[in-house]
Amino acid sequence: MSTTAIDTQVALNGALNRNAPLRQSAGVQVTDYENRQTVGKITVDNPKMVCREVNVHYGQKHAIKNVSLDIGANEVIAFIGPSGCGKSTFLRCLNRMNDTIPTARVTGQIKLDDDDIHAKEIDVVQLRARVGMVFQKPNPFPKSIYENVAYGPRIHGMVNTKAELDDLVRESLERAGLIKEVEKRMLEPGTSLSGGQQQRLCIARAIAVNPEVILMDEPCSALDPIATAKIEELIDELRENYTIVIVTHSMQQAARVSQRTAYFHLGDLIEIGDTDQIFTNPRHKLTEDYITGRFG
Amino acid sequence: MQPLLLLTLLLLSVGAYHLGRKRAFAVAGGQIRNLHSLPGFYGFYAALWCGLPALAVLALWAIAQPGILVNWVVAGLPPELQNLPPDRLNLVVNDLKNLVSGNFVSSASDPVMVEAANRYRQLRAIGNAALWVAVLSFAIGGIAYAWRAISPALRARNRVEGIINLFLIASSTVAIFTTIGIVLSVVFESLLFFRQVPVSEFLFGLQWSPQTALRADQVGSSGAFGAAPLFAGTLLISGIAMLVAVPIGLMSALYLSEYATPKFRAFAKPALEILAGIPTVVYGFFAALTVAPLIREIGAAVGLHVASESALAAGLVMGIMIIPFVSSLSDDVINAVPQSMRDGSYALGATKSETITRVLLPAALPGIVGSILLAVSRAIGETMIVVMAAGLSANLTANPLEAVTTVTVQIVTLLTGDQEFDSPKTLAAFALGLVLFAVTLILNIIALRVVRKYREQYE
């Protein structure tokens, strides 16, 4: 009992004991690293993406430390953790968005299906067409609703005729659950929509290029509860066709939409497992502290 | 003016500030929180009461004193001088003033005048002494008033800020009134011109030969004030300048904002902006002595006749001068496109060039248009380069290899040298200025509106 109290204190002070005792044990897989463990099973049976020993440095800052995990096909996996824990940074590794930050350096192996995304023969443009992304703040281009969705198919030469493009735009908007609201106003600027509609427009824009994986970086943090509910519903539907990785600050949201959850802390992957298990029965002290609201 | 008096007044005000502060502390019983305002405001309150009324008295006195003194002195002159007609009397007064300031005048030997001058000096000395007394008593009276007025409930901050507010308003209106004054003077002179030369002839006439006869039988007495060749020349040179400045400026803006490393950008952007800091007269002789002969030689080599002073030379150099306007402003607006737009585009698998041409440029377009319009109005108003490199002959031509002249150059030539101020020749300069002003004003208004519209887009 006294040990637990001390550990909590240490964790709260930020000087974290990465080898804090597991709450309980039998049959739990633990991956050991130099100075910490990842609790839980990092592998899945049919992985879509496989990440091994991923490290990210921003200049001097070591933002992601030796993170390994699998992302299963057609699953929704949630990354949770306190601010600055590296979950967004890790997400941006998956479609190499960190390439746009001059000081960022990514090492380790990340595979999409069987392709190493850092391999020379992989074109980052192709990769991003396969791994789409939706951002924290809705960022429609200052163009019409139609043009926002048509942007991706156009630059990738996915359609040959205007009619095909029309169909593709309609279909994408339909999948994003936005078609009814914008059918009559396709030529109005995307910025004229409400926040929630803009975010669904961004999702439609992402799925228009027919990606295999969709990365969502806190997609609901700028939205009201009703718009959030719509997006969450949409994520659940999209799972049928896509693999989705979502970063969220809302633990309820992670619990509602995801099948697996990964808990990050100061650049370390602390615990990963089925969402049900993580939220009902966290095995690592830090995970438990975070989801019970003791810090974060 | 009275520098010593002003200095005294300033010192008194400083003293008043300290007195006011002290008084505030005293009435508050040493507790600042008993006061409505901070003690400094009570200090300023006292200083303003000391300085402002006294300054007003000083200003009024300075305006009124000379007139009053002259009247008194004139009243003391012998009747035969007093009863002169007003213009002759004016001459006498002028003589008198010169005598007073010790200049040599023809009437120096006239005892009446010498006596009058002495009287003037005497009166002035008395007046100045009275001024000291009046100003200082107003200053001290002001301090006394403030001393009595300061109480914990006095809203010193509000009063002081009110006065400061007035100062700010006055400062901001200086520029506005100056502009209005300039516009009015140009408009009135132009009206005088249009009374002599019809507007339609001025705007659409094809012959520009601004001269007026001194005598009716003079050779070449018929002036022609058709400004069309000037407008054409201005357009031609500005057009060439924009052909140089817009592509180069835009591309350097794109490079700086999207491709350049931060290190290179930190060096290159200020370096480009130095171009804007070179005096235009330096560009002028660069154009006239280096570029124009070069163009003529190249032209001769390929068998073209190029005038020594060509629109091309002036336009090219002017274009280079304007590059920083386009590049710096465009760079700013491209940078102002939110990073989220770039991220959104990259995340869809767009390349850098696709992102630039399909997202960034359309998003920044209004701002870029604004920067180009500002550059155009700069090009139209540019004078020095054209004076030196483009020549003075008002040819109506679209050939950039010939000499042309522009509106600004003609204004310069019309107004240099000794001129009558009521001849159409001089007045034509005001009419040209009016046209120039109208065009650049319209361009600036359009540019500002376009830029403002752009600003609203992401908010």
**What residue spans define the domains of chain A?**
2-291
Residues of chain A with pLDDT under 70: 1-29, 32-36, 295-296
Q: Is the CB of B457 less than 8 angstroms away from the CB of A142?
A: yes
Query: CA of B354, closest CA in chain A: separation in Å?
Result: 7
Which residues in chain A are closer than 8 Å to B342, comparing Cβ atoms?
100
User: Would you tell me which residues 253-282 of chain A have a C-beta closer than 8 angstroms to some C-beta of chain B?
Assistant: none
Is B261 close to A156, i.e. CB distance below 8 A?
no
In order along its 459 residues, chain B shows pLDDT tens digits of 578 899 999 999 999 999 999 999 888 888 888 888 888 999 999 999 999 999 999 999 988 888 888 888 888 777 777 777 878 888 878 877 887 777 766 666 677 878 888 888 888 889 889 999 999 999 999 999 999 999 888 898 999 999 999 999 999 999 999 999 999 999 998 998 888 888 888 888 888 887 766 555 655 556 788 888 889 999 999 999 999 999 999 999 999 998 988 889 889 888 888 888 888 889 988 888 899 889 989 988 988 888 878 889 999 999 999 999 899 889 988 988 888 999 999 999 999 999 999 999 888 888 888 889 888 988 988 888 888 888 788 888 888 888 888 888 888 888 887 777 777 888 888 899 999 999 888 988 888 887 777 665 554
pLDDT digits (tens, 9 = 90+) for A10-56: 333 333 444 454 544 445 667 766 666 788 888 888 999 999 999 99
Chain B residues whose CB is inside 8 A of the A132 CB are 347-348
- Nearest Cβ partner for B347 among A132, A155, A191: A132
Q: List the structure tokens of A285.
A: 């002290």
> How many beta carbons lie within 10 A of that of residue A110, not counting itself?
23
Per-residue pLDDT of A75-115, as tens digits, reads: 999 999 988 888 999 999 999 998 888 888 999 999 999 88
- Nearest-CA neighbor of B340 among A190, A30, A32? A190
Q: Are A89 and A100 in contact (CB under 8 A)?
A: no
The topology under which CATH files domain A2-291 is: Rossmann fold (3.40.50)
Minimal Cβ distance to A100: which of B346, B354, B457: B346
Question: Closest Cα of chain B to A218: distance in Å?
Answer: 14
Is the CB of A137 less than 8 angstroms away from the CB of B340?
A: yes
| Three-state secondary structure of chain A | CHHHHHHHHHHHCCCCCCCCCCCCCCCCCEEECCCCEEECCCCCCCEEEEEEEEEEEECCEEEEEEEEEEEECCCEEEEECCCCCCHHHHHHHCCCHHHHCCCEEEEEEEEECCEECCCCCCCHHHHHHHEEEECCCCCCCCCEHHHHHHHHHHHCCCCCCHHHHHHHHHHHHHHCCCHHHHHHHCCCEHHHCCHHHHHHHHHHHHHCCCCCEEEEECCCCCCCHHHHHHHHHHHHHHCCCCEEEEECCCHHHHHHHCCEEEEEECCEEEEEEEHHHHHHCCCCHHHHHHHCCCCC
- How far is A36 from A68, CA to CA, in rounded Å? 13
Q: Do the beta carbons of residue A90 and residue A82 sit within 8 Å?
A: no
Handedness of CA B429, B430, B435, B440 (dihedral sign): positive
Residue showing tokens 């870029």:
B368
How far does B264 lie from chain A, in Å, by closest CA?
Answer: 14
Residue B13 CA to residue B4 CA, distance in Å, equals 14
Structure tokens at A181: 């609201």
pLDDT at site A34: 62
Using CA atoms, how far residue B454 sits from A194, B342, B345, in Å, is: 20, 18, 20
The token pair that represents B268 in the structure block? 């290159």
Pick the CATH number of B209-456 from 3.40.50.2300, 1.10.3720.10, 3.40.50.11810, 1.10.10.60: 1.10.3720.10
CA distances from residue B146 to A83, A278, B13 in whole angstroms, order as listed: 58, 74, 12
B348/A141 CB distance under 8 A: no
Rounded to a whole number of angstroms, the distance from the CA of B447 to the nearest CA of chain A is: 20
What does the alpha-carbon distance between residue B174 and residue A186 come to, in Å, rounded to a whole number? Answer: 51
Considering only CA atoms, give the Rg of chain A: 20
Sign, CA torsion B390/B393/B399/B402: negative
Closest C-alpha to A116, from A209, A50, A43:
A50
Please tell me which of the candidates B262, B344, B351 has its beta carbon nearest to residue A141: B344
Q: Which of residues 79-138 of A touch B (CB under 8 A)?
A: 95, 97, 100, 102, 125-129, 132-133, 135, 137
Name residues whose C-beta falls within 8 Å of residue A160's C-beta, 6 or more positions apart in sequence.
none
Measure the CA–CA gap between B203 and B405, rounded to whole angstroms: 16
In angstroms, the CA B265 to CA B156 distance is 50
| Interface check B359 vs A, CB under 8 A | yes
CB contact under 8 A, A137 and B359: no
ipTM of the complex as predicted: 0.84
Domain with CATH 1.10.3720.10 in chain B: 209-456
Subunit contact B349:A125, Cβ cutoff 8 A: yes
Question: CA gyration radius for chain B?
Answer: 33
Both tokens assigned to A209 = 């290029």
Q: Can you give the pLDDT at residue A35? A: 63
Q: Which residues are CB-contacts of B141 (< 8 A; sequence separation ≥ 6)?
A: B53
Q: What angle do CA A207, A209, A211 make, to 5 degrees?
A: 65
Q: How far is CA B283 from CA A163, A216, A248, B246, B314, in A?
A: 56, 55, 59, 18, 9
In contact, A122 and B325? CB cutoff 8 Å? no
Instruction: Give residue A205's pLDDT.
Output: 94
B206 phi and psi angles, rounded to 5 deg: -100, -5
CB B211 within 8 A of CB B223: yes
- Provide the pLDDT for residue A296: 53
